[in-house]
């Protein structure tokens, strides 16, 4: 896979993870603190998750396969 595929996946995963982590911060710390400073830890966590997105997708595919095998018998 070339660098462009990784970059596209990185951006998509980063946006989805950032929104999820930011919503979590708002929910956990309250509206004012979550919106005000919750974006900073959300950005850090989203960057870590997005950097590892191929590994995360591989684990997800393996888990789906392991769940589907008993259902197909």
Does the structure show a pLDDT above 80 at 6? yes
Q: Write down the pTM of the prediction.
A: 0.77
What's the domain count of the chain? 1
- Provide the pLDDT confidence category of residue 62 given band limits of 50, 70 and 90: very high
CA distances from 20 to 26, 41, 42, 43, 55 (A): 10, 12, 8, 10, 19
Q: Which domain holds residue 19?
A: 3-72
């Amino acid at each position: 896979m070339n660098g462009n595929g990784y970059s596209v996946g990185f951006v998509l995963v980063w946006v989805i993870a950032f929104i999820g982590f930011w919503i979590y911060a708002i929910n956990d710390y309250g509206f004012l603190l979550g919106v005000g400073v919750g974006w900073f830890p959300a950005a850090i966590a989203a960057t870590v998750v997005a950097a590892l997105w191929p590994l995360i997708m591989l684990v997800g595919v393996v888990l789906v396969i392991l769940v589907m095998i008993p259902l197909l018998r």
